[in-house]
Amino acid sequence: MTKDIRVVIAGALGKMGIETAKAIDQDNELELVGLVDIRANGEKFSDLTGIRQIDLPVDSDLDLLIERTKPDILVDFTNPQAVYNNARMALANKITCVIGTSGLNEVELKQLERLAMEKNVGVAVIPNFAIGAVLMMKLSQEVAQYFPDVEIIELHHDQKMDAPSGTAIKTAEMIKSNRQQMPVRNTREFEKIAGARGGEVDQIHIHSVRLPGLVAHQEVIFGGVGQSLRIRHDSYDRVGFMPGVILTIKKISQMQGLVYGLEQLL
């Protein structure tokens, strides 16, 4: 069977990279043509991971990999220090990008959007590929018009490099778009320990927890007079992100410009 979309993965030896490689390999419309990770030096993916059905080598140089494999899509699960340069290089070569790595700022997003439009390709920046997490964010956005007082607790594994998570920031942005302007609260409040009240995005406090044993979890807590409402999503296994990853690859391959958030593709 001829496959339509050629895909390379950056950060292929990370936990999300490994799951994505397996999911792409099993899809009838996608062809996994290249893998790259700075921790590798040409060893076979099957030898490094024990996944015998994928015997591609894992390169350490993304530029050379792209030149050799001529992919349609780059999927990036690297780190906040590498993702922007990876995406710029791919877009400059007219390669559509799917970015699951957190850490891009607003200036970088605008520059990637401009470059994608210039090259007539797409770039999808997805804070969370779990469809349940997207529904959590959309529900939180709806609730905000009735319960404007809200805080967010996000919990991730202890290897996550950035805090707060992209999902928490995106949730706060969506809540802000649908709630009334909030007055300044509790001016006498002070932190006996710096950071005890978490970070703040548009008057929404975000608290980050990092512990071994966790994967990706978020709770949005709304408070009202005499009541509260909690919306929570839990990811227990990264395989739960894969339907969203595959959907994003297929949808963004037919689009141009920037798409931010999986909800834009559902």
Catalytic option among 22, 119, 160, 205: 160
Query: Is 156 known to be catalytic?
Result: yes
b/e map of 47-57 (b: 16 or more CB within 10 Å)?
ebbeeeebebb
Measured between alpha carbons, how far is 183 from 174 in angstroms, rounded to an integer? 19
Measured between alpha carbons, how far is 192 from 133 in angstroms, rounded to an integer? 33
Query: Is 205 known to be catalytic?
Result: no
Q: Count the helix, strand and coil residues of the chain and give each as a percent rounded to the nearest 5.
A: 35, 25, 40
Q: Which two tokens stand for residue 171?
A: 């949730």
Query: How far is the first Cα of the chain from the last one, in angstroms, to the nearest whole number?
Result: 27
- 101 within 8 A of 83, measured Cβ to Cβ: yes
Beta strands in the chain (DSSP E): 5-10, 30-36, 58-59, 73-76, 96-99, 122-125, 149-156, 199-201, 204-210, 216-224, 227-235, 257-260
Active site residues: 156, 160
